[in-house]
Chains A and B, each alone.
Chain A
Amino acid sequence: MVAQGYAAWLDAQLAKPASLSYVSYWDARNAALGGTTANPKAGQREVLDAFWTQAVAGEDQVRARVAYALSQIFVVSMLDSGVGNNARGMASYADMLGAKGLGRYRDLLESVALHPVMGTYLTSLHNMKENTRTGRVPDENFAREVMQLFSIGLVQLNADGSVKTSGGSPVPTYTPSDISGLAKVFTGWSYACPVSDDSCFFNGISRDSERDIDAMIKPMRAYPQFHSSSVKSFLGATVPDQGSNADPAASLKVALDTLAGHPNVGPFLARQMIQRMVTSNPSPAYVGRVASAFAAGNGDLKALVRAVLLDTEARSATGLTDASFGKLREPVLRLSAFLRAFGATSDSGGWLVGNTDGNTDSLSQTPFRAPSVFNFYRPGYVPPGGQLGLAGLVAPEMQITHESSVVGYVNYMATALQSGLGMSGYDNKASRRDVQPDFLRDTTHALRTLAATDADVPALVDQVATRLLPAPMPAALKDIIVPAVLSIAVPVANGKNQDQIESAKLNRVRTAVMLTLASPEYTVQK
Chain B
Amino acid sequence: MHHDQASRRAFLRQLGAFTGLGAAAPLALNLAAMSSASAQAATDYKAVVCLFMFGGNDAYNMFLPTDSTSFANYTAVRDQAPDSIALLAPGTAPVPTAPVASPARLGGVLPIVPATARTAPGGGTQTFGLHPSLGALQTLFNSQKRLAVLANVGPLKQPTTKAQYATTGYPLPASLFSHNDQQNTWQAFAPEGATKGWGGRMADLLLSQNTRASFTAVSVAGNAVWLSGDTVRQYQMSTSGAVRMGADSGGRLFGSTTVASALERVVRNARSNHRFETDMADIHARSIDAEVALRTTLKAASDPLFGTAPVSGSYNPNNDPKLQYDNPLTGGKSSNSLAQQFQMVARMIEASSSSALGMKRQVFFVSIGGFDSHDGQNRNQADNMAKIAQALKYFDDTLGGLNLRSNVTTFTASDFGRTFTSNGDGTDHGWGSHHLIMGGAVKGGDVYGQVPVLAARNANSNNFDGSPDQISNGVMLPSTSVDQYGATLGRWMGLSDTELLSIFPNLANFSQRNLGFMA
**Complex contact A382–B195 (CB within 8 A):** yes
**Residues on A with beta carbons closer than 8 Å to the beta carbon of B428:** 137, 139-141, 144
**Residues on B with beta carbons closer than 8 Å to the beta carbon of A405:** 236
Between A137, A488, A515, the greatest number of chain B beta carbons within 10 A of the residue's beta carbon is seen for A137
Bound together, the chains give a CA A523 to CA B284 distance in angstroms of: 12
**Complex contact A386–B279 (CB within 8 A):** yes
**Residues on A with beta carbons closer than 8 Å to the beta carbon of B77:** 135
Does A25 sit at the interface, judged by CB under 8 A? no
Closest B residue to A322 by beta carbon equals B274
**Complex contact B80–A360 (CB within 8 A):** no
What are 14 A-B pairs at a CB distance below 8 A? A128-B82, A139-B375, A326-B276, A372-B369, A382-B194, A383-B195, A385-B233, A386-B278, A398-B223, A401-B283, A405-B236, A407-B291, A519-B267, A524-B277
Bound together, the chains give a CA A139 to CA B255 distance in angstroms of: 58
Query: B278 contacts which of A387, A408, A411 (Cβ < 8 Å)?
Result: A387
**Complex contact A323–B274 (CB within 8 A):** yes
Q: Which of B44-52, B103-111, B113-121, B171-179 lies on the face that meets chain A? A: B171-179
Does A497 sit at the interface, judged by CB under 8 A? no
Does B272 sit at the interface, judged by CB under 8 A? yes
Bound together, the chains give a CA A418 to CA B286 distance in angstroms of: 26
| Shortest distance between the CB of B441 and any CB in chain A (Å) | 29
List 4 additional A-B contacts (Cβ < 8 Å) besides A384-B225, A410-B267: A136-B80, A144-B177, A384-B196, A476-B271
Does A231 sit at the interface, judged by CB under 8 A? no
Q: Which of B91-99, B126-134, B257-265, B506-514 lies on the face that meets chain A? A: B257-265
Residues 447-479 (chain B) with a chain A CB within 8 angstroms: 457, 460, 462, 472-473
**Complex contact B254–A418 (CB within 8 A):** yes
**Complex contact B276–A136 (CB within 8 A):** no
| Shortest distance between the CB of B501 and any CB in chain A (Å) | 22
Does A154 sit at the interface, judged by CB under 8 A? yes
**Complex contact A391–B423 (CB within 8 A):** no
Does A402 sit at the interface, judged by CB under 8 A? yes
Does A327 sit at the interface, judged by CB under 8 A? yes
Give the top 3 A-B pairs by smallest Cβ distance, nearest first: A484-B262, A384-B228, A402-B236
Q: Which of A247-255, A337-345, A506-514 lies on the face that meets chain B? A: A506-514
Does B313 sit at the interface, judged by CB under 8 A? no
**Complex contact B236–A404 (CB within 8 A):** yes
Interface string of B147-183 (1 = CB under 8 A from A): 0000000000000000000000000001101111100
**Complex contact B279–A402 (CB within 8 A):** no
Query: A136 contacts which of B180, B236, B424 (Cβ < 8 Å)?
Result: B424
Does A406 sit at the interface, judged by CB under 8 A? yes
Residues 197-211 (chain B) with a chain A CB within 8 angstroms: 197, 200
**Complex contact B223–A520 (CB within 8 A):** no
Given A140-B428, A404-B287, A484-B258, also A514-B263 (CB < 8 A): yes
Interface string of A42-81 (1 = CB under 8 A from B): 0000000000000000000000000000000000000000
Query: B423 contacts which of A127, A144, A179, A387 (Cβ < 8 Å)?
Result: A127
Does B290 sit at the interface, judged by CB under 8 A? yes
**Residues on B with beta carbons closer than 8 Å to the beta carbon of A483:** 262
B-side interface residues, number (CB < 8 Å): 85
**Complex contact A403–B286 (CB within 8 A):** yes
Does A477 sit at the interface, judged by CB under 8 A? yes
**Residues on A with beta carbons closer than 8 Å to the beta carbon of B280:** 328, 401, 406, 520, 523-524
A-side interface residues, number (CB < 8 Å): 86
**Residues on B with beta carbons closer than 8 Å to the beta carbon of A521:** 271, 277
Bound together, the chains give a CA A31 to CA B337 distance in angstroms of: 35
Does B26 sit at the interface, judged by CB under 8 A? no
Bound together, the chains give a CA A359 to CA B82 distance in angstroms of: 40
**Complex contact A399–B223 (CB within 8 A):** yes
**Complex contact A474–B272 (CB within 8 A):** yes
| Shortest distance between the CB of A32 and any CB in chain B (Å) | 31
Closest A residue to B179 by beta carbon equals A374
Does A431 sit at the interface, judged by CB under 8 A? no
| Shortest distance between the CB of B17 and any CB in chain A (Å) | 15
Residues 133-159 (chain A) with a chain B CB within 8 angstroms: 134-141, 144, 148, 154
Bound together, the chains give a CA A520 to CA B271 distance in angstroms of: 9
**Complex contact B233–A403 (CB within 8 A):** no
**Complex contact B374–A395 (CB within 8 A):** no
**Residues on A with beta carbons closer than 8 Å to the beta carbon of B246:** 407, 410-411, 414, 514, 518
| Shortest distance between the CB of A485 and any CB in chain B (Å) | 8
| Shortest distance between the CB of A162 and any CB in chain B (Å) | 14
Does A335 sit at the interface, judged by CB under 8 A? no
Does A371 sit at the interface, judged by CB under 8 A? yes
**Residues on A with beta carbons closer than 8 Å to the beta carbon of B312:** none
